Amino acid sequence: MEKIRKHTEDAVKSMDEIRKQTENTVKSMDIIRKSIDDTITDTIIECIDITRTFKMGEVEVRALRSVNVRIRRGEFIAIMGPSGSGKTTLLNQLGLLDTPNSGKVIIDGSDTSRLSDSEKGKFRLHNLGYVFQDYALLPELNAMENVYISLMMQGKSKTECESAAAEILAAVGLGDRLQQLPSKMSGGQQQRVSIARALAHSPEVLFADEPCANLDSETSKEVLDLFEKFNQEKGQTIVMVTHEEWHAEYADRVIRLKDGIVQE
Amino acid sequence: MLEKARVSFFLASRSITRGNKGITIFTVFVLTLIFIQLVLFSSMLAGVTLKFNELMVNFQTGNVVVEPKEEERYIEGASALQKKIESLPQVVGTSARLKTTGNFRYKEKEIGATIYGIDPADETFVTGLEDAIISGEFLSRPDKGEIILGREVSGGFGALMESKSLEGVEVGDTVELTIGGVTREFKVKGIYSTRFFMADASAYLTIADLEEMLGIEGRDFAQEIAIKTVDGTPEYDTRTALLSLGIGENIRTWHEFAGILRLIESTLGLVRNIMNAIGLLIAFVIIFVVIYVNIVNKKRQIGVQKAIGIEQNVIIVSFVLQAMLYAGAGVIFGYTFMRFGLVPYTVSHPVEVPLGSMSLRLDNAEALNRAVLLFLSSVVGSVIPAYKLAQKDLLDLIWGK
Ligand SMILES: Nc1ncnc2c1ncn2[C@@H]1O[C@H](COP(=O)(O)OP(=O)(O)O)[C@@H](O)[C@H]1O
Ligand SMILES: [Mg+2]
């Protein structure tokens, strides 16, 4: 009987130990999960297995083939590659300007493949900013109006719009040209207005497709310096397409594309 | 909702103030013309109708007409009834008339006409016949064997239906008149023209002469008593007053005699509606084309607007607002031109038409109706192209596909 009692006590003891160990394991697993969570939340955009094919009559152009990209919050990314390699196409997928044939784009934890066109529009309005190669300013709006039109669309009051626009235009060095129409500005000035427009609503990510392609190298440097300033001072995430190596030096990381495939 | 409207309005207003001025001016100009066209015909029709009505009241019926009781040929005791009616304060004058049809003969020509027997003094209180004399003189009470002819009977003086007239009877000539088998000769004392075809196809002689021809001398009969009231007295009130005098005869206002005018009016109304429909179609097409051209030039802008998150509906509404502002400006300019330009001009310089001198009349309710129609067609004309384009894929728009 006594033997039996002892055995039982032993058994209970070892069971306690096992329980303790299990608890420890669970704890450490929690830590791992947390760190995984951290990395996930730290990822601002992730695209998984993106494929984009264009049909040109009979011919199919496979602009992106199973592209996987992950961009962390606060990163300055340069997308490079030869002409026709799919840089613009990739940027358009990341920036929700286009819809991939297959694959997912996850921005800030939300899967955007399930959004409707108008929901995507809202998402772009509130969370994303764009700088185009040819500035793409609205010619009938002056600098300030071009900048605050998206704030207005967000429902901000006129005074909020105007003060925010004035502030950001001052930050890009155009504080003295608030009322100027795009047609009266140089290319560099127009591109700075377009940067101000892209940043006015503090987007999660700024996308720029060859923002300096139409600018001389001095003006290009001014624009890139602006990007760097916003990246470093405000932690602005930037994804920029470029084909100039010296532009890429501004970036934290370069994603190289060739024939629609990311080169490791 | 309001915030979105604000953005649409903002885009539209900037587009108008900073966009292509030439296109704006052209569009507004064309819409102004279309609005004028839409109201012009109505104004003409209203002017003609007014003229018709005036002539009707001034030269034929007065405001109200008393006719024999049902199934009776004559009003009996006409002069007593006249006195009774003239006792009403709103009555300016009354004219008891005999009315029949007769045949005129002059040289080889023979025509039919309506013949009135009147008391010339009474008649001048009711109609403007005396002032309508264009040759010779008006009748006077003691005249015997004298007659005045409308220009459609006499011919000449610009008669509209010369071939259906006696072709060239002049004052002083003698015409032969046959009524119910009785023929007598009359000397033409005067020729009148009201320019109102129906009134000008008649002849007037003294009531005594006509009584004699009808064989009812001294019976104090009349076939109608035309009543002229003070300007602005509603016909309905006059009728009520007459009824309260205990008059058992048939009382009709001039409106009831205007049946043929109604017919003309509704015929012209149909023409007007067709012209309006065509005008609106033109407005629609022009707005469609202007907005379409405007939008096609702005494809890229629309794409960029969509890219930065401006909603499709906001973009569409901005174009519709623009079209509505064009239409609004067109309506305002068109209305101003009509109300303060063309209409007052035709009032001070009436247009001479066969009917007489006519001026335009602009009815505000009609103008409003045309304005609304123009607005609607500008909305439809802009929604279609704006929707078609704004709906496209934004990258296609940006790359100009
Ligand atoms: N809308 C389109 N329709 C057809 N083909 C396209 C379209 N967009 C891009 N492509 C094709 O996809 C490939 C990648 O284009 P793109 O992404 O613009 O290249 P990059 O920006 O690197 O020069 C090219 O071969 C291009 O011709
Ligand atoms: Mg490109």
Over residues A179-199, the pLDDT tens digits come to: 999 999 999 999 999 999 999
Q: Tell me, what's the pLDDT at B316?
A: 94
Instruction: Indicate whether B90 and B230 sit together in one domain.
Output: yes
* Residue B235, φ and ψ in degrees, nearest 5: -55, -35
How far apart CA B214 and CA A244 sit, in angstroms, is 116
How far apart CA B222 and CA B79 sit, in angstroms, is 9
Instruction: Indicate whether B230 and B285 sit together in one domain.
Output: no
Q: Tell me, what's the pLDDT at A2?
A: 78
Q: Do the Cβ atoms of B309 and A139 come within 8 Å?
A: no
Instruction: Indicate whether B306 and B368 sit together in one domain.
Output: yes
| Chain A residues within an 8 Å CB radius of B21 | none
Ligand 2 geometric centre to CA of A146 (Å) = 24
Spans in chain B with pLDDT lower than 50? none
Ligand 1 binding pocket, CB closer than 6 Å: A 54, 56, 61, 63, 81, 83-89
Tens digits of per-residue pLDDT, A110-154? Answer: 899 889 999 999 999 999 999 999 999 999 999 999 999 999 999
Q: Which of B180, B215, B248 is the last residue of a domain?
A: B248
Q: Tell me, what's the pLDDT at B209?
A: 92
Q: Which comes out higher in pLDDT, residue B146 or A18?
A: B146
Compute the radius of gyration of chain B from its Cα atoms: 31
Q: Which of B206, B223, B248 is the last residue of a domain?
A: B248
Instruction: Indicate whether B243 and B115 sit together in one domain.
Output: yes
A74-100+109-262 CATH fold: Rossmann fold (3.40.50)
Query: Is the pLDDT score of A35 beyond 70?
Result: no
Overall domain count for chain B = 2
**Residue B121 forms part of a structural domain:** yes
Q: Please tell me the residue having the least CA distance from ligand 1 atom 18.
A: A88
Instruction: Indicate whether B49 and B197 sit together in one domain.
Output: no
Instruction: Indicate whether B240 and B301 sit together in one domain.
Output: no
Using DSSP's 3-state secondary structure scheme, residue B205 falls into strand
Most confident of A1-15, A159-173, B343-357: A159-173
Ligand 1 geometric centre to CA of A88 (Å) = 7
Residue with tokens 């990395």: A39
E strand or H helix at B231: none
Alpha carbon separation from B390 to A10, A150, A198, B320, B386 (Å, rounded): 78, 17, 22, 12, 6
Q: Tell me, what's the pLDDT at B329?
A: 94
How far apart CA B211 and CA B389 sit, in angstroms, is 82
Q: Tell me, what's the pLDDT at B233?
A: 85
**Residue B128 forms part of a structural domain:** yes
Query: Is the pLDDT score of A37 beyond 70?
Result: no
Q: Does A115 touch chain B (CB under 8 A)?
A: no
Q: Tell me, what's the pLDDT at B160?
A: 80
Amino acid occupying residue B161: M
| Chain A residues within an 8 Å CB radius of B311 | 118, 121, 153
**Residue B148 forms part of a structural domain:** yes
Q: Does A57 touch chain B (CB under 8 A)?
A: no
Q: Which of A229, A171, A173, A230 is nearest to A203 (CA)?
A: A230
Instruction: Indicate whether B102 and B240 sit together in one domain.
Output: yes
Instruction: Indicate whether B212 and B91 sit together in one domain.
Output: yes
**Residue B256 forms part of a structural domain:** no
Q: Tell me, what's the pLDDT at A36?
A: 65
Query: Is the pLDDT score of A39 beyond 70?
Result: no
Ligand 1 geometric centre to CA of B387 (Å) = 27
Instruction: Indicate whether B41 and B75 sit together in one domain.
Output: no
Q: Tell me, what's the pLDDT at A38?
A: 58
Alpha carbon separation from B161 to B134, B164, B290 (Å, rounded): 17, 6, 50
Burial class (CB in 10 A: 0-12, 13-18, 19+), B281: exposed
Q: Which of B187, B221, B248 is the last residue of a domain?
A: B248
Instruction: Indicate whether B121 and B200 sit together in one domain.
Output: yes
Q: Which domain holds residue B223?
A: 69-248
Q: Does A54 touch chain B (CB under 8 A)?
A: no
Instruction: Indicate whether B46 and B83 sit together in one domain.
Output: no
Instruction: Indicate whether B189 and B321 sit together in one domain.
Output: no
Query: Is the pLDDT score of A40 beyond 70?
Result: no
Tens digits of per-residue pLDDT, A81-97? Answer: 999 999 999 999 999 99
**Predicted TM-score of the model (pTM):** 0.76
